[in-house]
Amino acid sequence: MNRPVNLLDLDGAGLIAWCAEHGEKPFRARQLLRWLHRAYEGDFAAMTDLAKSLRAKLAEHAEVRAPAVLADHVSEDGTRKWLLDVGAGNAIESVFIPETQRGTLCISTQAGCAVNCRFCSTGKQGFSRNLGVAEIIGQLWWANRALGAVQSGEERGERIISNVVLMGMGEPLLNYENTLTALRLMLDDNAYGLSRRRVTLSTSGVVPMMDRLGEDCPVALAVSLHAPNDALRDELVPLNRKYPLNQLLAACTRYLVHAPRDFITFEYVMLDGINDSAAHAAELVALVRDVPCKFNLIPFNPFPDSHLACSPRERIRAFAEVLLAAGIVTTTRKTRGDDIDAACGQLAGEVQDRTRLAQRSQRIVPITEVAQ
């Protein structure tokens, strides 16, 4: 017997194709999309406006399978982190960051990461595998369920998760096809209905895939720059040896033709004594002279054995001043959720270490509370 198809692996076009294969009209696909990605329903029996015959086909040939939640932590500042099981000893993490005007979900696209940036704990784990569509979109699906999105106002048009950032574990552009399908679901009006401006993909600079994304699904783009010259970037972001800065910046300019915003966001992690001097800042200003951009300075979040430290606050301020003086909008990211290791670059999905993780946080929400 064929394995049931996991409906969370399919976008709108995929669901239409599945319906056609099973003798169903395209509008059924739209209904299914809404049940799956607006009501976050996983039980076919509850999909009451579908014909009984269709529900029977679904029960026989399909399933709705999101990754299982291993742990759910809530930080003192309201940040919430889920550890999700993606099989074979791999776990991934997603983080919800509530703010006054918006709620942002940070999601992962790979278990581990092959790019191996020097300052990133995901990179230090090495690469395990690409996530499937259901594992990527499943993070949004779970988070919406766990946050009670259906009961609490989604129907009134309020979104608890108003923004999604692909800034969790992994390099999204090295898992291109699955990421693209998941992005299409995020933007689909019958699914999550987010605008392209509210979905941000962060990349360490996979140049050819930036061009493809511009053609296929130009969401907002953040580029992890971290250094003002190739010699230093080669050390910090090894991918730079393949796609050096001149190629990366040219790709940024090309992307702007399609982008939903008229600037690229550059991320720059502040590493004490490594990339944070006033001279580095001046070099950076010259480097990005021709690219409309904003800068987001990220205080480095330490992790065991990184042998790196975050720049002192004063130096981050001085660095920002140089960029601001050159007319570049510059913000410094607030660190959120560091009491639960949910800050940038701390996502490690330490599945083998689950017991330690569980003991470490006193604020664990029992899994059963969210899994219903």
Closer residue to ligand SF4 in complex, CB, 104/224: 224
**Least distance from C-beta 224 to ligand SF4, angstroms?**
6
Residue 267's DSSP bridge partners are 224, 296
- Say if residues 190 and 143 touch (Cβ distance below 8 Å): no
Q: Which stretch binds ligand SF4 (CB under 6 A): 116-124, 130-138, 182-190, 272-280?
A: 116-124
Closest contact distance (angstroms) between CB of 221 and ligand SAH is 10
DSSP track, 109-145: SEEE-SS--TT-HHHHH-EEEEPPHHHHHHHHHHHHH
Of these partners, ligand SAH, ligand SF4, none, which one is at the site of residue 269 (CB under 5 to 8 Å by kind)? ligand SAH
Is residue 170 within the footprint of ligand SF4 (CB under 6 A)? Answer: yes
Task: Report in angstroms how near the CB of residue 113 gets to ligand SF4 at its nearest.
Answer: 3
- Count the residues of the shown chain that bind ligand SF4, applying the rule CB under 6 A: 11
How many Å apart are CA 149 and CA 68, to the nearest integer? 19
> Is residue 248 near ligand SF4 by the rule CB under 6 A?
no
Residue among 144 and 240 whose Cβ is closer to ligand SF4: 240
- Cβ neighbourhood burial of 230 (10 Å; 0-12, 13-18, 19+): middle
Residue 122 makes contact with ligand SF4 by CB under 6 A? yes
| 106 flagged as catalytic | no
Q: How far is the CB of 291 from ligand SAH (least distance, A)?
A: 17
Task: Determine the residue type at 122.
Answer: T
- CA distance to 95, 233, 362, per residue, from 336 (Å): 10, 26, 17
Using only C-alpha atoms, the chain has a radius of gyration, in whole angstroms, of 21
Catalytic residue, candidates 106, 120, 293, 344: 344
Binding mask 171-210 for ligand SF4 (x = CB under 6 A): x--------------------------------x------
Interaction partner, residue 300 (ligand SF4, ligand SAH, none; CB < 5-8 Å by kind): ligand SAH
Do 183 and 199 touch, CB atoms closer than 8 A? yes
Under rule CB under 6 A, residue 341 binds ligand SF4: no
Number of Cβ atoms within 10 Å of the Cβ of 319: 24
Q: What is each CA distance from 16 to 28, 181, 205, in whole angstroms?
A: 8, 14, 34
Annotated catalytic residue: which of 19, 24, 41, 93? 93
Q: What angle do CA 135, 164, 96 make, to 5 degrees?
A: 80
Do the bridges between strand 110-112 and strand 127-130 make them parallel or antiparallel, or are there none, so unpaired?
Answer: antiparallel
Whether the CA torsion 151, 157, 160, 164 is positive or negative: it is: positive
Nearer to ligand SF4, 181 or 202 (CB): 202
314 counts as catalytic: no
User: Which residues lie near ligand SAH (CB under 6 A)?
Assistant: 119-120, 167, 171, 202-204, 224, 267, 269, 298, 300-301, 344-345
113 lies in the site for ligand SF4, by CB under 6 A: yes
Which residues carry out catalysis?
93, 344
Q: Which spans of this chain sit near ligand SF4 (rule: CB under 6 A)?
A: 113, 115-117, 120, 122-123, 170-171, 204, 224
